[in-house]
């Protein structure tokens, strides 16, 4: 059993696709182990995306991520990191496969609806960034 962090970004919340995204997770057999809606501060967004701090889009990305509320979830299931990345589609929605969340709902390369951890180590850091142990359901 594996866990990953999913975020429905401010554009996804604004487009009213929270339910649509969660439906895709549940249809794929993924369980939600923790969930909440929050509005990040700039400092909190910078901390979350610290690995990208040297990238040219860091300021724009952290502005975007603080532009409205987000939904953060700890997802659980077998191979859930890869499963979630497949449901999300490529970072650039123009390159994403048909039927993926980003292909269907992204606006541009930055406003791409969802975040998903890319490896077990990043998943552990990212889940811990938003949830304490008591907030995560144990099965
Ligand atoms: P992800 O793992 O697919 O989310 O992609 P990355 O970790 O490479 O990038 C993190 C996030 O930064 C992406 O989901 C986008 O929101 C944003 N991003 C990535 N590349 C670009 C870019 O070239 N320009 C801008 N403005 N944002 C980008």
| Per-residue pLDDT tens digits for 15-53 | 999 999 999 999 999 999 999 999 999 999 999 999 999
Would you say 117 and 81 are in contact if contact means Cβ atoms under 8 Å apart? yes
115 lines ligand 1 (CB under 6 A): yes
Beta strands in 15-135 (DSSP E): 31-38, 70-77, 114-116
Task: With cut-offs at 50, 70 and 90, classify the pLDDT of residue 139.
Answer: confident
- Residues, the chain: 139
- Enter the tokens of residue 58: 């860091």
Q: Report d(CA 40, CA 38) in Å as an integer.
A: 6
Atom of ligand 1 lying closest to residue 49 CA: 10
| Per-residue pLDDT tens digits for 92-123 | 999 999 999 999 999 999 999 999 999 999 99
Average pLDDT value for residue range 4-11: 99
Q: Calculate how far, in angstroms, residue 134's C-alpha sits from the geometric centre of ligand 1.
A: 31
Q: Calculate how far, in angstroms, residue 91's C-alpha sits from the geometric centre of ligand 1.
A: 6
Considering 115, 116, 123, 127, which one is annotated as catalytic? 115
Task: With cut-offs at 50, 70 and 90, classify the pLDDT of residue 85.
Answer: very high
User: Average pLDDT over the chain, rounded to whole?
Assistant: 98
């Amino acid at each position: 059993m594996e866990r990953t962090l999913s975020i429905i970004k401010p554009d996804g919340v604004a487009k009213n696709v929270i339910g649509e995204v969660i439906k895709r997770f549940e249809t794929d057999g993924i369980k939600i182990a923790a969930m909440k809606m929050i509005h990040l501060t700039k400092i909190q967004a910078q901390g979350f995306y610290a690995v990208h701090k040297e990238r040219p889009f860091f300021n724009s990305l952290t502005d975007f991520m603080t532009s409205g509320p987000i939904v953060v979830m700890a997802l659980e299931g077998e191979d859930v990191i890869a499963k979630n990345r497949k449901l999300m589609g490529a970072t650039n929605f123009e390159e994403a496969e048909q039927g993926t969340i980003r292909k269907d709902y992204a606006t541009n390369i930055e406003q791409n609806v969802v975040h998903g951890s890319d490896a077990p180590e990043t998943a552990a850091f990212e889940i811990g960034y938003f949830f304490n142990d008591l907030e995560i359901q144990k099965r």
